[in-house]
Every structure is written in C-alpha cells, then in structure tokens.
Structure 1
Amino acid sequence: MKKTYYLFLTLLFMLLQAAPLLAQDAAVTVSGVVQTDTGEPLPGATVFVKGTFIGSSTDREGRFQLRADFSEPPVVLSVSFVGYETREVSLPQPDNAVQVTLKVNATLTSEVIASASRVQEGILQAPVTVEKLNTQQVERIPTADLQVGLNHYKGIDVNSSSLLMNSLSTRGFNSAKSERLIQLTDYFDTQSPSLNVNTGNLTGLPELDVESIEIIHGPASALYGANAFNGVLLLNSKDPFVTEGLSVRVRGGQRSFFDGQVRYAQKLGEKFAFKVVGSYLTADDWLASNYAATSTLVERRNNAEGSALGYDAVNRYGELGGFTFTNNPADPSYATTPAALRGKTVFMPGFTEQDLVGGDDKAKSVKIHPSLSYLLTSSVKLTAGFNYSRGTASYQSSSRYRFKEFGTNQFHGEIKGNRWFVRGQSVQDFGAQSYDLSFLGSFIQTSTISPDGVGATYAQRFYNTYVGTFRATGSLERAQTAANATQLQPSDPRFQQLRSQIISDATPGRGARLNPSSLLNEGNAQYNLPLAEGTDLIVGGAYRKFRLGSNGNLFADDDARIQNHELGGYAQLTQKLLDERLKLAVAGRVDAFKNFDAAFSPRASVVYSAGASKQHNFRASYGRAFRSPTQLDQYIRLDVGQVLLLGNVDNGFQGYSLTNAAGQPFGTPGASLTSFEYSAAALKLERLSTYEAGYKGTLGEKLALDVNYYQSYYNDFIGAQRFIGNRDGSRPTATQLNQELTRPQQNPAGTPFQERTSQTRVLQVWTNARQEVRTRGAAVGASYSVAQPLTLTANYSLNVLDRSNLPDNFQSFFNTPKHKYNVGANGLVNSRLSYAVNYRWAQGHLYELPFAVGELADYSAVDAYVGYTLPQFYTTLQAGGSNLLDATNTQVYGGPNIGRLVFVGVQVDIK
C-alpha cells in the first residue's frame, strides 16, 4: 500500500512540474448574469466554456465570472440549471455584461448523461434504460442513506439489512451484497476488495458533494466489464472549479439520529482548485428480530417453532446448529439415550441480536474526501484524491455480521481531456472490530463455565440438564424449561467478558472477529476518436488486481495473500443518420481472467428520434453480459458450524445430495446411495443475454413518459449448493460416511461432541446451474408538471421469474417483488419552498440467502421532505422523514423492519 501511495505522489509531482510547459494562458475575463424568463436571478447555475474544463457557477444574484481564451473566437458559453433548458451563448469578443435567460423545462428532458454510452448524450437519446437524479432531487431524499431513496424510481430495488447497509439492483436477483450491479463514484469502483460488498453509501459520496446520480438498468458489461450484469450505479461529484464555497448541513431526529456534513471548495488562481468534504452520521441502528423457525433449506434438522426440543430461530444465534442424539444401535451411547430422544435434535435457546450486539447498536458513518485539481491546459485536467471511509452497520449473507468501524482507504487519480481519460486507484479494506453473530453466539455457548478454562462448557451443562430432567420426569417440556434456565444470561458479567474476548479474537474456530484486509489496484483508460461526420469510435481498456488477505479467517490464505486479476478491452462504434434522428451503435468487450476462460460481451442498439424537436425516442437493444464469481465464491473457507463454506475454482467437488430426486432425505433406510450422488464442477462465468425495447419522450410540454420491456436469459447461473462431501473435493467412501456422519453426537460420559475437524462434512460451494434461468419484466414512469409548484410522478415495475423449466427447490436468489409502484409529488413554491412526498409499495415475495430463506410480506413506506430557503442568510431550513406511517417495511428476510425516522435540519451555502 505504501509503494502505491509513493508512486501516486511521484506521478502527481511530475505532472505538476510539466504543467507550465503545457499551459498557455491567453485568457481574459468574461462576466454576466443568468436569470429566468421573468427576470429572477438563478443562483447556482453553471457556466462552462464549451469544449473546456473552464467553468463557474452563479452567486446569489445570478452573477458569474470566468476567464476565456479568445485567440480563436468565437467562445461558446454553455449555461445550465436544474429544471431549465440548457442554452449556449456565442461570444465573438470578450464581454463583461453577458445576459442569459433560461426557460423552464419541468420535464427534465434536456438532461445530459455520460454513463449509458461512456460519452455525453441527451438522456432522451440513451440507447438503454437509464435514470438520472440531479442535485435538487438528491437534496430532497429524506432517508438516512442516500441509496435507499432510489427506491422511489422505476425498476430499482433497494434492500436494507440495517440503517446504513443497503444493496441495490435492477431487474431482479437482489441480495444483501448487490453482486450483480457495480457501484462507481466518479467512475471509480467503491466495493470492498475482500467481500465484494457494495456497502450502500458507506463508501460513497456525502450528499453535499453529489452533483448527480445515474443508474443504468440491465447488462452493461460491453462497456464496464465484469459484474456490470444487471446495472451500473454512478455517483458524480461536484467540480471544485465550478461549485466553489462553503456548504454545511446538520440534521437531527428520532433514534438519536445526527448527520453533519461539510464541503469547502476553492479555486487558487486559474489553474488550481481543491475541495474537502466530510460527513459524520450516527443513529440507533435497526436490529433484526425474526424468531420464526429457520427454513430446513438452511438447517435441515430443524424442529417446528415452539417445539419442546427447541428450534433454530432466524435471528437467534448460538443454538449450536442443533445437537442430534444417536439413533445408531452400534453407538456406545445408544443404550444410555432415552428412547424418546433417539434420532431427535435438541437446540439451545441461543441469543438475540440485541443480546450480542449490546452497546454496539449505533449505526455510524465517517467519511473524509479531500481532492486537488489542476488544469494542465484549458481542456486537460488532473485530479487526485483520497477517500477515507469508516462505518458501523449490520450486514447479512451467510450469517448476520456486525461491521464495526469497517471501511476502506482509497487513493485515486485521473487525467482527463475532452476525448480521453486515464484513471487509476488503489483500495484497501479493513475489518477493524467487525464480527460474526453466529460465531459469537456459538463460541459463548462452548466456553467453559469456569473463567480458568477448565471443566464443563455451558453447552455441556445444558444438554446434560436436558437429558437428566427428561429421565427424571419423562417430560420434554420440563426438560426444556430446566435446561433453558442454565444458559448464560447477557446480564451476567461472565457473558460480557466472553463477548469481548471472542469479538477481539480472529483465530478460526475460536473467535468471531472478521479480519479482512485486502487490496484492489486498478487502472483504465479510454479515447474517443471521431472518424467522420456523425461517426464516432471509442476504445478503452482496464486492468484490476486483487490481493486478498484474512490470515485464514475468511479465505484459504494461511501462508500468503491470494492474488487474482482481470484484464479487458472494449470498443464502441456509433453512427448517426437521417439528420441525426437515427443512432446506431455496436459495442464489444473482451475480458481475460486468472481462473476463467476469456469472455466476449457485445451490445447493439438503435434509437430513433421522432417529432419536430426529436421529443419522441424509440429504442431497442440487445446486450450480453457476464458475472465473474465474487472473490468469496472463488476462495472462501469459512466454517459456520452446521456447514463448511469452500471456494470452488480448482477441480470441483463430488459428494451426495441432502435429498434425492424422489425427495427422500439422505440416510433414508432402504434408499440407494447412488441416487444421492452429486457433483459440482469448478465455477465458470455466469452469462446473461437481454433483449430490450423502450420509449422515452415528452407529450406536450408537461408530460414525460419512459416505458421499457425486457427479456433476459441467464446461463451458468451461479448459486450456492449444499451437499455431503470431503474437504478435498473427493466423494466420501461408505466408511467415511459411516464414521463421520453416523458417529455419536455425545460420548459415553454424556458430553456433546462439539467440533468437526474431519474430512467429511456438509459443504456449501458456489457452482453453476445447468438450467437456463429466464426472467422478463417491464417498467413505466411518468411525470406531469401541473405548474412549477407541482409535479406529479408515478411509476410501476414488473419483474417475473420464469420457473417453468426449473426443478423443485431450485434456489434462484431472485429476491425481487413481482409488482412494485410509486406515486409522488414535488415542486418549488416562490423560489423558496421546496418539497417532495412519495408513497411506495412492493409485493411480498420469496427471499433467499445462505443465512435465511422465507417469505416477505407486502411492504410500503411514505417518505417526505420540505425545505424553506432564507436567501439573505444563505440558509435552508429542512425537515423530512422516511416511513412516516411506520408501516411494515422488512426488505430482507432475516433482516430488521425499517421503521420511521423523522428529522429536522439546516443547510448553509455560502458561494
């Protein structure tokens, strides 16, 4: 990491030394005012010299000033403001009294995006479905985490596993880690290298520095590479050359919520500009409390909820995965086991999430983002920055985890011209004091009662009490009551001592601490080459290298870091015809991997613009994308008690299914062993093909409409599979099965067998499904501008998983509501009062994760924001809230209900 940092500083120093040779300053001052067609000034409007990075923004009176080079007149100024039509002004000579009038564009159809085609284009002409939020829309998002507010828009699903841990997807297959959608900040990947987790906005931008957000729906691998599978989320930050000044925002509210943000940006002369952005957020976190019985797909020996034998509950931890009494007459303990308990599984009560999290129940986010920009020339800009991000939140995947002070350090740099860029970054993640709740609960139970580490464990005392009471009374209920009373209580000082000890211990098999410390180094470059009038070609390439580390705590990296790499190159050809009404584009990308065969991702699209002002735009596209298995899928080695999770990039695995084709569980008397034989080939890339058609345009000056329909075909679908096998991938022999899977669960002294270090285990690996998985869906979004004070919005999303060709119990991890809709209103009253209100509803659906599987109920929320500006004090008073009616809002099975959170605040902007 230090070498990368010093190399980064050396490159920056060399570029700054060379800058005077590149820069030629023949600039003079240009100034003026930007106003509405009614003569009101427009503070915050942006003014750029077209074709350069020279720009500024207007002050409170709508005035601007910048320097422009008139050596080759005319100079063209591009003037824009959110909610108004962009205008270009041509200046044949310097002018210090420029007057620019902007016309209201309530439908926001003049917005420009760059994410869909990697070049700037009007949002109406985008070849695929894309959504854009501007600065004002971001400001009106009332949720604690920025990304949760994206739920208000069509086709976007956001799942919250805690207050600040959120995952985003489009077109299905959501999860708590959003592995099928990439998240970028200024085109830099923000994922955790170890976990491949996109942690909501914990490592993204503070809202004060968000200039816009763009979301691509559907496959984008042709331009973005691996894992741009179901979409791309891009956060664009504000340019310190354009948006100068001091902004401070403070909010406070329910659940001890506090959010403080500051942004300061300043130009130093005409060449340098810097900004420093920081934020601190804290609140009482949402904790999970689902005590239903865990699905037998996760815990195959589970009992029904309320059983006198106990049961494994979704959000209780430390049931020890169950203790099964022998039913084997050859077992020495068979004779001493009561007949009513033979073959039965008994569970300890375990601990709730609140018990284990204890005083760590505060959600927290700390972000510090300084950066420095330098204009090498008027059209070449250098930017270097550092992002420090730390957060505390709960996360859910194979278990429930408490990420405590989890975060990343990110060094990044970019050199950018009008038609090209070169970017590079280095990211390292840190687990800090993060821990696994399942491990924590289990290791408390298997700790000795005596602090000196000698004698019986709490688990042994529990099971001995259960058996003894049952022998004495013949009652399972009395046995359970007596045994439950022996479990260590969270109020006991011994519990707190063990909790602290186990959380701080990262030793596999003994401690619960997560100890990831991995690095991701990557670089990418692109050049846009105009070939002829209306014909453009872009070419680009990217390289990334992972260096995974966990000291054997998470990966199989006992001796050294695991190294993995990817390399890709892409090109896109665009042709405009028929007076630029018809736009044809083809793109393709080739990626090579260390562990997988090379992949080719093509995309072809056509857009036709009809109408006098090209206001009706019809689009169709075909795209093929691929998903590289996550680093965890490839290299994990994690024992979660009832199952051992292993990576699958070597030679695959042979073993036995837990059930056969007839639905019989493994070990059914008389069932043929061969009927359970199972094989899992080594992982391959998951592939997706999508056909899409859509329309985006305006009907009159008030109604904007966006409609799309898609069909997707997934092959080599990556999913988790559980089976009985050997650690080395071989199929267990009959002797191994007999010795390891039917051996006693308690020894003759009556103490439970606690740990399996044997070769044969229940394994979980990630592998590719043989079945093609098919989905389809549609989305429609509309906005109607009644007047500037009132815009009505509505959208509806349909996502369907076709199960007609899927076998029973096939886990697709689709995790997406079939039907979802939003209705809302927003507006600006008297240039001072702004507001937004939105109601969202999603249909209940099946939610599958390795941790828990179950049905979600329908969920909904009402979110609202209101702001009132006092321009003479540079101040905006704010109030808002999410889920104002405190409705059912559980989005992840096994996760918490995301209840009401109301805040008030103030924002000061001094330009």
Structure 2
Amino acid sequence: MRQHYFLIILCLLLPLGSWAQESQAISGTVQTEAGTPLPGATVFIKGTYTGGSSNEEGQFQVKADFSKGPLVLSVSFVGFETQELPISAPDNALIVTLRPSAMLDQVVVAASRVEESIGQVPVTVEKLNQRQVEQITTPDLVAGLARFKGIDISSSSMLSTSFSTRGFNSSRSERVIQLADYMDTSIPSLSSNFGNLLGTPILDIASVEIVHGPASALYGANAFNGVLLTNSKDPFKDQGLTVRLRGGNRSLLDGQLRYAQKFGERVAFKLAGSATMADDFIADNESATSNLIEPNNNAMGSNLGYDAVSRYGDIGNTFGASGGALNGKTVFLPGYTEAALIAGDDKTHSYKVAPSLSVLLTNSIKATADYKYTNATTTYQSASRYRFVNSGAHQGRIQVEGRNWFVRGFTTRDYSGQRDPSSDGSYNLGFLGAFLQTRLVPNTYAGQPGQPAQLPFANNYFQVYARNYNQEFARNGSNADAAALFARTEANRLSPQLKPGEADFNDARNAITHNPTPGQGARVILRSIMNDGSAQYNFKSDIADLTVGGAYRQYLLGSDGSVFEDTKDGDRIPNYEYGAYAQASKTLLDDRLKLAAAGRVDRFKNFGTAFSPRASVVYSLGADKQHNFRASYSRAFRAPTQNDQYIKLDVGRAILLGNVRNGFDGYSVNVLRGASPADAANLYRADKLTLEEVNSYEIGYRAQLAKKLYVDVDYFRNSYNNFIATQNFVGNVDGTRPTPAQLATTNAPGSAVRVIQVAANVDQEVESQGAAITLSYSFSPALILNGNYSYNELSTNDFKAGTQSFFNTPTHKFNVGLDGLLLERKLSYNLNYRWVDAFLYESTFATGTVPVAHTIDAQVGYTLPSLHTTLQVGGTNLLDAQNLQVYGAPSIGRIAYFGLLFDIK
C-alpha cells in the first residue's frame, strides 16, 4: 500500500508540460473600510488556483494570464464580504476595501454538494467560519458544537463525543455522517466517530457546515439525521506557520500546528497535527441499572446486592427451590467501580498527524494526496464501557478535482492497540469486571466457632451468601431484611473480592486485559478496513444546473472475535454498498425562485435497493433578497450499522447478535418473571433487518434585517417506517425457539438458551417533530448578541414492550451568547450560556434520566501584532456544573486553560 502511495505522488510531481501562458503581475493592498490593512487575506484569480495571500501590511501580488481576456480577482477574509473585481489589464495599485460580512453573504457547499448562497439553501444549515472554530473552548471540536441551534452532543468521556440533530441522539452517532473534505471519519469497526479524532486538525479547518435532517438524496444511507462537513484550508491559498499551545486544569496540555508552503507555482505542501492530553472523566453512577437491561435487578442499596450502572462484574444469580429461603430472589456480586478497573490509567490523549501534497496539473485542475494517522486513549460507551488504549486509524486519500468535477478514493484502517497479547491494548470494562469478580482465589475462614483456623476455601460468593442467609432467616424469625444484611456482611468477609491495588488484583487484571480469547479475556481487537471511491460532475446550462455523481464503499470487518462473528486470524467479514445520485436546480423570476430536485439509488449487500428523493423550493423577497422562505420534502434511509449486522458479543446477562440472516424466534423476557410460554402474547419473532426509512417535511425562513438582525427559523415533521430498535428476548443462539422446558437453562453455563439482544425493525410508524430558531443582532463589531432555541418531540409513545426508542433528546434547550472584536480587532471575546432540559436517555448499556444542565463557556484573546502572537484564556463549564450528556457516562466538568497562538503568514 505504501509503495502505491509513493508511486502516485511521484507521478504527480513529474513534469506535465509547460503552461502556455504569459504571466503579468497584479498587485495592491487589502484593507478595511477604516483603512486598516488586512494581513492574511486570500487573493485569487476566480476559477483557478492562481493567487496567494496578503502580507503584514495587507499587500499582495498575483500573476495573471490575460491572453484569453479579462479576469475576475476574488478577495476574501474571515468575517468580511468577498469582493470580486473584474480586471482587464495588469494593475499594480489596486486598493481592495472589504466590508464586514452579513450572515446571508455566506456560501455553503454541504446542503447541495455545490456552492450556493446560504439564503437560497433549501434545508436548515449551520456554518462556522474559521474564527468561530478557533473560539471553541472544548478540547474536542465536536463537543463545542452544542452551542449552535438544534445540535445534540453526547460525550462518553472527555475526548469521545458524537453529535446528532433532530432527535435520536446516541454516543455512537449512527444516524448522522461526519465528513472531513468529504471523507468519512467514522471508525469502520464501530460505525461511529470519536469526536474529531479522524477529522481535520483544528488549525487546518477553514469552515464547518452542519446540515440538519435527512440528506440521503445526495449522501446516501445514514445521512439520516444530519451531515457534519469540515472543509480544510487550501495550501495554495493559505500559507504560513500557525502554532497553538494551551495548558489548564485536569493536567490539560494541548498543542496544535499547521505549516503550509508553496514550491513554485505548481506544488504546495501542508502539515497539520495536534496532541491533546488530560486527566479523563470517570463514570461513577451508583444507581440501579434499568429493569429493561437487567430484568431481575434489585433496588439501589439492596442487601441482596444490585446491578449498578457504573459497576462492572456485579453479576446476578437467581436462586431456585434449592436456595431455600432465597427461592425466587436474585443476589448480585459486589462488582468493581470504573475507577478501580481503570486502575490509575485515567489519562486520555489524542494525537493526530496529517501531511498533504497538492500539485496543479493545470491552473484549474489540482491533484492531492494526503494521509492521516490518529492515536487516542479514551473511554467509549456502547453495549458496554470500553477503554480504548492507543487506538485509532490510518486514512489515505488520492483526489483529482477541477472547476466542476472531482474523482477521489480513500481507505481507512482502524486499530485498537496491538494484536500481540503481550502489549498494551483496549479492553471491555464489563468483561474485565466480570472475570475479576468470578476469578477463583484461595481464601480462608478465620476465627469461626467450630471451624479450623485455616480452611482452604474456593471463593464462591453465592454459596456463602445462601448458607448464611438461610441460617439467619431461620434463626431470626423469617426476617428477610435482617437475613440479607447478615448474609451480605458474611459473604463480603468470608469470600472477599480481589482488592484493587493489591498484587493479586493487579496480576489478574493484567492477565484479563491482555487476553483476547472470547469468554476468557476482556481484550478488544479492531482491525477493520473501509475502502471508498466517488466521483461527481456539475453541468451548467440555461435550462438547469445538473449535478451527477456516484460512490462505492467496501467494508472488511475484523475483530478476532472480540466484537464481530469473525475468528482470530480468520478472514475479515466482507460487506459493501454503492449508489448514484443526480440533482437538478433552476432559478426563475430574476433569481428569486429556486427549484431543485434530487434523487439517489443505493444498493446494499444485505438489504437490496433503496431510492432517496428530495424536492425543494426557495423564494426570496425584498430589494436585496433578504427574506428567504424555504420548503422541502426528503426521504432517507438508514442502513443498520456494521455492529447491528454482524456483532457477536456475550456480555453475560445477554448475548448480542447480528441480524442479517433468517431472523429469530423466541419468547418475551416476561417468561423469566413467571409469564407462561404457552401464552401467544409471550411469543417473540424478529425478521432479518431491513432499511429504516424516514419521510421528512421541512419549512423555514431565513432573513437578514437591516444588516444587523439575522434570523433563521425552521419546523420539521418526520415519520419513520421499519424503525430500528434494540430488543431483548429469550431464545436459542441459532435463532430457533427453545422448548418451554429448556427455558429453565436460560443463561446457564454451556446452554444455547440465552437472553438475546438484537437490532430489529419495529412494526409500527414512529413520528417526531420539532422547531428551532436562531437570532443574531450585531450592535457593532464590538458587540454581537446571539441566541438559539430548539424544540424536539417524539410523537409516538406506544412502543411494544421491551422496545427502546433511543430518542435521547431534550424537549427544550437554548443558548445565549455574546462575542465581539475591540481595540482595532486586537481584543476578541465570546461568552455562551447553555441550558438543556432533563430527558430520558436509553441505550443498550444503561437507561435513565439525564438531569437539567446549565453550562457557561468563555474565551478572551489579545493579539500582539508585532509578535504574531495572541494570548488566550478561556474554558468550558466554568462553574463546574453537572453536565451529564450520556446516561452511564461521567459528567463533563470544568476545563479551563491559558494559551498562546502564533500565526505567521
């Protein structure tokens, strides 16, 4: 693979013939309306890659070829309107004055995969410019998006974050797609993003665009609830050295770097990277796990023990008649906390290196070869809590693009530490706790009347508990509470756990975390590959503008049996999908009416063919088209994740299985609570998975009033069919229904009858609706007041028993913020207050209520122009308020920092 990349890069560097042009110079100065020079403004010949940027005095020089007639000079700077100047001859005394930009002046590409004014975008879109990105105060880019309209954030830990729009949020981001320069940044094995781990380094981001709602018509399956697109800076247009260094509480150290340089007029190189290290947040929720997940759980604090959300290894045993007075009761092992299992390894880090080489094949055709290497240690929540140690991905891309077209291919290969069991690697906290808790350890009775002083005893917590419970129950007049308290005290004393920090515990933990054998160890192996190829062409004509494109994606799933149904050293599991799309748009009535229609056909290995259409209309009113009304209809498809299709993970209380073959027959979990298996109401059937579908209607209004007040409001209604939900039932692992007599062996060692958890389509329509509004008022560049409010509602409440919706979205949330530039743009500041209503959070790991959150983020920067340095101080959740986003994960507390930003153009 490496040899192929070197050969391609070498070919790009070979001479491709001289450019038939006679270059002449255009030069001048870029300044504000007040006459202040603007260093770092980009100045280019429109439609080409010919140009550069202004120096510290705002001066620029561009070589131009006038042999084919007049040219257009495009001049832009963050926060200012782009100016386009017709140039018919060389000019060395140009004065280009840029005015502060209004929101409607923004150009976006994510909504329709072509450049268009944000006023005429047919769907709800949020765009962050370079300055807004650099003002994000969270260690990870994605976590900082919570301050914008309609965006939900789920943080499993400090650096493991996912986002969603319009409901159905989760820590796994399976209903949205996240792209960096149109490359998918998800980890192939998990169908999930770890925040911005595989995304663009912060200092290399030119802009971020978020499309709200379905976008399958242009992006394919899983662009179901939204698209997050980061656009990187072009090394031809943005050159120089930028370095950012920060340090703060929780031992935070953060370094970011970008360096870009042109070599002549045809070759440009850039290197971007980052390194973030800190003390991670650790989950400590002692509440009882929901009965949906642990049907026989006891209440929090029960002396019978209970399965706690943030304890692992607290396995339950339900006693039958042989248990005497415990008949029908469930006793739980004590288990271990997350802090005990991580055993001091509470550091988190994210390292990223991203070199890129671009070559101009002509003045308007560019070839790019780039590579990303990422490495992280973080905690991720899915069916369990996972500690990923030195995990990440390699990603490589080759792309050739022109004015109206592109062809690209990229490959992503993930890893989770080394496959060698002797090296450090990732592990499943649930498995680690269970295997530690049940590990056989020699023990003794001590000082028991009538017992030898030293009696070898194999640790069996349940046997000790049952014997003492029955003895105390008989002695104490059938007092169950007193018997449970006595039995728990004796079981903890006579059959103690391995104690964290002691040699036996450390030895056992080390052995289990390094053992990749399913059923014996907790080691997690990720070694999947995703290959992707795509192309697009834009046709311009008087009849209509037409965009056509297509893509092919291949998955090769590998986990050595630790996640998927593959085996160690066996072949990876192949999967694929491919599709083609087209979009036509037409402007009428003096460009006030814009009509567009798009459609995409996708083919899946396991799910057949699907068609995703979108139709939209935008109408602009006002002398400056400042009032924009939009309406759209979209249908989108969600393909089940790779985990939903091929998972095979035994978590003890249940086994998680993929569902792409013949489906499953079994019984409702109610049969474990005494319900009759002969009752037809308790029979269970799940057909093989099929695609989930959403039909979405949206209307909106976007306006710029008096150049000071910006408003964007939208309303949507979604209707879901073949809704994919997680379901638990009792059945044979081969998919057949066990006999009623076999139910007595459910979850017993060696039994094929298990509590099984699968993803399945729910035979009912699910509906949701919502609205959101953004307001921004610019009193002056020194003071901009902004705010947003979002409303989301799940309209369907009558889900079948045992089914979870995973809506995971607050009904109400809002942000209020201030930002501005003072002292001739030397002093910058921003302040944001965020309020999120309480809501029910459902997942396969834990279900419970996420409480109300109030957080304050702020940042202040002061620039010393002569030193090319900006002093920065800021932080997120400055009051250290409770900030839980994922039930079962830790609250994300205060992170404050001081930093320096060096920027040399």
Report TM bin, short chain.
over 0.9
Query: Residues of 2 paired with 1:555 and 1:808: CA distance?
Result: 28
Structure 1 runs not aligned, ≥5 long = 328-333, 660-664, 742-753
Find the counterpart in structure 1 of residue 476 from structure 2. none
Find the counterpart in structure 2 of residue 109 from structure 1. 104
Q: Does 1:856 align with 2:850?
A: yes
Q: Does 1:536 align with 2:528?
A: no
Q: CA deviation at 1:667?
A: 5.1
Instruction: Work out whether residues 135 and 211 of structure 1, in 8 Å CA contact, stay in contact via their aligned partners in 2.
Output: yes
Query: Residues of 2 paired with 1:12 and 1:220: CA distance?
Result: 34
Instruction: Work out whether residues 771 and 805 of structure 1, in 8 Å CA contact, stay in contact via their aligned partners in 2.
Output: no
**Partner amino acid for 2:358?**
S
Q: CA deviation at 1:91?
A: 1.2
Note the alpha carbon deviations across 1:646-666, whole angstroms, 9 max, x for none: 00000100000113xxxxx54
Q: Secondary structure at the match of 2:608?
A: coil
Shift in CA distance, 388/450, structure 1 to aligned 2, threshold 3 Å? farther
Find the counterpart in structure 1 of residue 362 from structure 2. 377
Q: Secondary structure at the match of 1:463?
A: helix
**Partner amino acid for 1:418?**
R
Find the counterpart in structure 2 of residue 360 from structure 1. 345
Q: CA deviation at 1:808?
A: 5.5
Find the counterpart in structure 1 of residue 535 from structure 2. 525
Q: CA deviation at 1:188?
A: 0.4
Find the counterpart in structure 2 of residue 234 from structure 1. 229
**Partner amino acid for 1:39?**
G
Shift in CA distance, 108/59, structure 1 to aligned 2, threshold 3 Å? farther
Instruction: Work out whether residues 729 and 755 of structure 2, in 8 Å CA contact, stay in contact via their aligned partners in 1.
Output: yes
Shift in CA distance, 23/637, structure 1 to aligned 2, threshold 3 Å? farther
**Partner amino acid for 1:406?**
S
Correspondent of 1:516 among 519, 526, 529 = 526
1:430-441 counterparts in 2 under 5 A?
A: 430-432=415-417, 433-441=425-433
Find the counterpart in structure 1 of residue 420 from structure 2. none
Query: Residues of 1 paired with 2:606 and 2:882: CA distance?
Result: 44
TM-score (norm 1): 0.94
**Partner amino acid for 2:368?**
T
Find the counterpart in structure 2 of residue 397 from structure 1. 382
Instruction: Work out whether residues 22 and 377 of structure 1, in 8 Å CA contact, stay in contact via their aligned partners in 2.
Output: no
Structure 2 runs not aligned, ≥5 long = 418-424, 444-454, 474-482
1:719-738 counterparts in 2 under 5 A?
A: 719-738=725-744
Note the alpha carbon deviations across 1:783-832, whole angstroms, 9 max, x for none: 00011100000100000000255445541000000001000000000210
Shift in CA distance, 755/361, structure 1 to aligned 2, threshold 3 Å? farther
Q: Does 1:295 align with 2:290?
A: yes
Find the counterpart in structure 1 of residue 631 from structure 2. 620
Q: Secondary structure at the match of 1:124?
A: helix
Note the alpha carbon deviations across 1:479-519, whole angstroms, 9 max, x for none: 11222241111021111111111111111001111101000
Note the alpha carbon deviations across 1:390-409, whole angstroms, 9 max, x for none: 11111111011111111000
Query: Residues of 1 paired with 2:624 and 2:189: CA distance?
Result: 49
Query: Residues of 2 paired with 1:389 and 1:767: CA distance?
Result: 34
Query: Residues of 2 paired with 1:601 and 1:23: CA distance?
Result: 43
Q: Does 1:837 align with 2:831?
A: yes
Instruction: Work out whether residues 203 and 390 of structure 1, in 8 Å CA contact, stay in contact via their aligned partners in 2.
Output: no
Q: Which moved more, 1:392-401 or 1:670-679?
A: 670-679
Q: Does 1:326 align with 2:326?
A: no
Query: Residues of 2 paired with 1:866 and 1:814: CA distance?
Result: 36
Correspondent of 2:312 among 293, 307, 317 = 317
1:221-300 counterparts in 2 under 5 A?
A: 221-300=216-295
Query: Residues of 2 paired with 1:226 and 1:93: CA distance?
Result: 50
Instruction: Work out whether residues 385 and 428 of structure 2, in 8 Å CA contact, stay in contact via their aligned partners in 1.
Output: yes
Q: Which moved more, 1:639-648 or 1:76-85?
A: 76-85
Correspondent of 2:490 among 482, 494, 497 = 482
**Partner amino acid for 2:613?**
P
Find the counterpart in structure 2 of residue 552 from structure 1. 561
**Partner amino acid for 2:632?**
S
Shift in CA distance, 457/608, structure 1 to aligned 2, threshold 3 Å? farther
Query: Residues of 1 paired with 2:23 and 2:553: CA distance?
Result: 40
Shift in CA distance, 66/656, structure 1 to aligned 2, threshold 3 Å? same
Find the counterpart in structure 2 of residue 419 from structure 1. 404
Query: Residues of 2 paired with 1:674 and 1:301: CA distance?
Result: 23
Q: CA deviation at 1:670?
A: 5.9
Q: CA deviation at 1:85?
A: 1.5
Find the counterpart in structure 2 of residue 351 from structure 1. 336
**Partner amino acid for 1:428?**
R
Q: Secondary structure at the match of 2:67?
A: coil
Query: Residues of 2 paired with 1:359 and 1:411: CA distance?
Result: 35
Query: Residues of 2 paired with 1:498 and 1:804: CA distance?
Result: 46
Q: Does 1:895 align with 2:901?
A: no
Query: Residues of 2 paired with 1:514 and 1:860: CA distance?
Result: 36
Q: Secondary structure at the match of 1:161?
A: strand
Instruction: Work out whether residues 265 and 275 of structure 1, in 8 Å CA contact, stay in contact via their aligned partners in 2.
Output: yes
Instruction: Work out whether residues 833 and 867 of structure 1, in 8 Å CA contact, stay in contact via their aligned partners in 2.
Output: yes
Instruction: Work out whether residues 37 and 57 of structure 2, in 8 Å CA contact, stay in contact via their aligned partners in 1.
Output: yes
Q: CA deviation at 1:42?
A: 1.1
Q: CA deviation at 1:669?
A: 6.2
Query: Residues of 1 paired with 2:641 and 2:580: CA distance?
Result: 21
**Partner amino acid for 1:510?**
Q
Q: Does 1:781 align with 2:777?
A: no
Find the counterpart in structure 1 of residue 72 from structure 2. 76
TM-score (norm 2): 0.95
Q: How many residues align?
A: 874
Query: Residues of 1 paired with 2:53 and 2:485: CA distance?
Result: 73
Query: Residues of 2 paired with 1:88 and 1:627: CA distance?
Result: 42
Shift in CA distance, 236/82, structure 1 to aligned 2, threshold 3 Å? same
Find the counterpart in structure 2 of residue 27 from structure 1. 23
Query: Residues of 2 paired with 1:307 and 1:905: CA distance?
Result: 49
Note the alpha carbon deviations across 1:104-144, whole angstroms, 9 max, x for none: 22x33211111111110111111100000001101111111
Q: CA deviation at 1:557?
A: 1.1
Correspondent of 1:170 among 165, 171, 188 = 165
Instruction: Work out whether residues 293 and 311 of structure 1, in 8 Å CA contact, stay in contact via their aligned partners in 2.
Output: yes
Find the counterpart in structure 1 of residue 324 from structure 2. 338
Correspondent of 2:813 among 810, 820, 823 = 820
Find the counterpart in structure 2 of residue 13 from structure 1. 10
Shift in CA distance, 705/537, structure 1 to aligned 2, threshold 3 Å? same
Note the alpha carbon deviations across 1:732-788, whole angstroms, 9 max, x for none: 1234224x23xxxxxxxxxxxx96332211101111011111000000001000111
Instruction: Work out whether residues 382 and 844 of structure 2, in 8 Å CA contact, stay in contact via their aligned partners in 1.
Output: yes
Query: Residues of 1 paired with 2:429 and 2:456: CA distance?
Result: 19
Correspondent of 2:598 among 587, 604, 612 = 587
Correspondent of 2:395 among 406, 410, 422 = 410
Find the counterpart in structure 2 of residue 446 from structure 1. 438
Q: Does 1:507 align with 2:502?
A: no
Instruction: Work out whether residues 703 and 711 of structure 2, in 8 Å CA contact, stay in contact via their aligned partners in 1.
Output: yes
Query: Residues of 1 paired with 2:546 and 2:720: CA distance?
Result: 30
Q: CA deviation at 1:473?
A: 3.3
Q: Does 1:876 align with 2:886?
A: no
Query: Residues of 1 paired with 2:228 and 2:900: CA distance?
Result: 28
Find the counterpart in structure 1 of residue 462 from structure 2. 463
Instruction: Work out whether residues 84 and 108 of structure 1, in 8 Å CA contact, stay in contact via their aligned partners in 2.
Output: no
1:652-731 counterparts in 2 under 5 A?
A: 652-659=663-670, 665-666=671-672, 668=674, 672-731=678-737
Shift in CA distance, 597/252, structure 1 to aligned 2, threshold 3 Å? same
Find the counterpart in structure 1 of residue 477 from structure 2. none
**Partner amino acid for 1:221?**
S
Shift in CA distance, 656/457, structure 1 to aligned 2, threshold 3 Å? farther
Instruction: Work out whether residues 446 and 458 of structure 1, in 8 Å CA contact, stay in contact via their aligned partners in 2.
Output: no
Find the counterpart in structure 2 of residue 160 from structure 1. 155
Find the counterpart in structure 2 of residue 90 from structure 1. 86
RMSD value, Cα: 1.7
**Partner amino acid for 1:517?**
R
Q: Secondary structure at the match of 2:464?
A: helix
Q: Secondary structure at the match of 1:310?
A: coil
Find the counterpart in structure 2 of residue 493 from structure 1. 503
**Partner amino acid for 1:639?**
D
Shift in CA distance, 11/732, structure 1 to aligned 2, threshold 3 Å? same
Q: Does 1:650 align with 2:661?
A: yes
Shift in CA distance, 440/670, structure 1 to aligned 2, threshold 3 Å? closer
